Amino acid sequence: MLVTRRRCHTRAVSPPTRHLLRLPTLLLLGCGSSSPGSAADAARAAGSDAGAPRSDGPAGPRFSFFVTSYRAIARLSGGAQGFGGDLRFGETGPGAGLRGADKLCATIAESAMPGAGAKPWRAFRSASGADGGQPVHAIDRIGAGPWYDRLGRVVALTKDDLLHDRPSSADPAIVNDLPNEEGVPNRTPDPGAGPADNHHMLTGTNGRGQLFGANATCLDWTSARGDLATEGRPRVGLSFPRGGPAGGAGGNPGGSSAVSWIDALIESGCAPGVVLVPTPPGPPPPGTVSVGSGGGYGGFYCFSLVP
């Protein structure tokens, strides 16, 4: 397996197609290119609509939470390295990073379930107000709950349930491996290819769901240069605990945790970059400045204000 470890900026590649390399064959650390796995195809092949019981409400299927899959990030960014810390997605002006991330959530939701994109989707991200505004806390952006995944399984019933290492009321099938927009556990987006080490999710947020710090948001999700002096290093949570299932759904509401879905560690930097295979423990090599260096691709969580 080829491992590349050099610092560089993202470069354009052809948008991914639906017949692509399986995820665990790919390791990109801040530069390089490859093709993303076909998570949506894998989900349909596995019969995602025939999985866990659906929980449909009077307004349609209850679908109000997902982890943005690598396939979706690569497709919408137009490159295998993803967006990095810049989530403006065509938005401009104050708050563009949050608005762009919200638009990405809606776009991905629509691709997974036609009609779902009309819901009021919000990215679970905090911002410092560096553009002259007030700090924004992720927990205040997402409504009151409850939230359900693509298959109608409970992710959390209330905000308080979210403020644990793992959501305390989540369905046992997903509590330790939060699912992507297709309802597929994020650790194995392509069931035929085995697990991927893709658990780092950008939040900029502490264990209370509030802004971790002004230097933990890639300039409020508008920058992806990999300049540590100006951009800082983003705070990330874990869509699944790296060492396996967490010891319990409850946890440490006040601080960081090695298994926390919100607040686990500081990533290397804000540049685009992808790592989908296990990496050695410890700090990344010097000069590593990407959002994916510890195992990820710059993914994030999306919540709808309504089920």
Is residue 219 one of the residues assigned to a domain? yes
pLDDT reported for residue 242: 73
pLDDT digits (tens, 9 = 90+) for 278-307: 777 667 777 899 999 989 999 999 999 999
- Give the span between the Cα atoms of 115 and 271, in whole angstroms: 33
Strand 200-202 versus strand 235-238 pairing type: antiparallel
Is residue 9 one of the residues assigned to a domain? no
Is residue 259 one of the residues assigned to a domain? yes
Is residue 11 one of the residues assigned to a domain? no
Is residue 10 one of the residues assigned to a domain? no
* DSSP 3-state of 25: helix
Distance of CA 41 to the CA centre of its chain: 19
Is residue 152 one of the residues assigned to a domain? yes
Distance of CA 248 to the CA centre of its chain: 22
Q: Which residue has the tokens 């065509």?
A: 90
pLDDT digits (tens, 9 = 90+) for 32-68: 333 333 333 333 333 333 333 344 444 458 999 999 9
Give buried/exposed letters for 269-278 (b at 16+ CB in 10 A, else e). bbbbbbbbbe
- Give the span between the Cα atoms of 128 and 99, in whole angstroms: 14
Closest by alpha carbon to 207, among 248, 157, 155, 265? Answer: 265
- Give the span between the Cα atoms of 282 and 91, in whole angstroms: 36
- Looking at this protein, which amino acid is placed at residue 152? G
Enumerate residues 6+ apart whose C-beta is below 8 A from 95: 127, 131, 133, 220
Is residue 12 one of the residues assigned to a domain? no
pLDDT reported for residue 303: 98
Average pLDDT for the chain: 81
173 to each of 70, 149, 304, how far by Cα in Å?
21, 11, 21
- Looking at this protein, which amino acid is placed at residue 86? D
- Give the span between the Cα atoms of 79 and 10, in whole angstroms: 8
- Give the span between the Cα atoms of 225 and 257, in whole angstroms: 28
User: In the structure encoding, which two tokens stand for residue 157, read together?
Assistant: 């019933």
Tell me 299's DSSP state. E
* DSSP 3-state of 147: strand
Is residue 15 one of the residues assigned to a domain? no
Identify whether the C-beta of residue 297 lies closer than 8 Å to the C-beta of residue 73. yes
pLDDT reported for residue 83: 98
For the chain, the domain total comes to 1
Longest dimension (CA), the chain: 54
pLDDT reported for residue 282: 67
Interaxial angle between packed helices 96-112 and 70-77, expressed in degrees from 0 to 180 and rounded to the nearest 10: 120
Q: What is the 3-state secondary structure (H, E, C) of 218-274?
A: HHHHECCCCCHHHHCCCEEEECCCCCCCCCCCCCCCCCCCCCCCCCCEECCCCECCE
Spell out, as residue ranges, where the chain has pLDDT lower than 50.
Answer: 1-59, 244-256
Q: Which domain range does residue 109 map to?
A: 21-307
* DSSP 3-state of 39: helix
DSSP 98-125: HHHHHHHHHHHHHHHSTTGGGS-EEE--
CA angle at 81 for the pair 78 and 86, rounded to the nearest 5°: 80
User: In the structure encoding, which two tokens stand for residue 130, read together?
Assistant: 């560096």
CATH of the domain at 284: 3.10.100.10
- Give the span between the Cα atoms of 80 and 73, in whole angstroms: 8
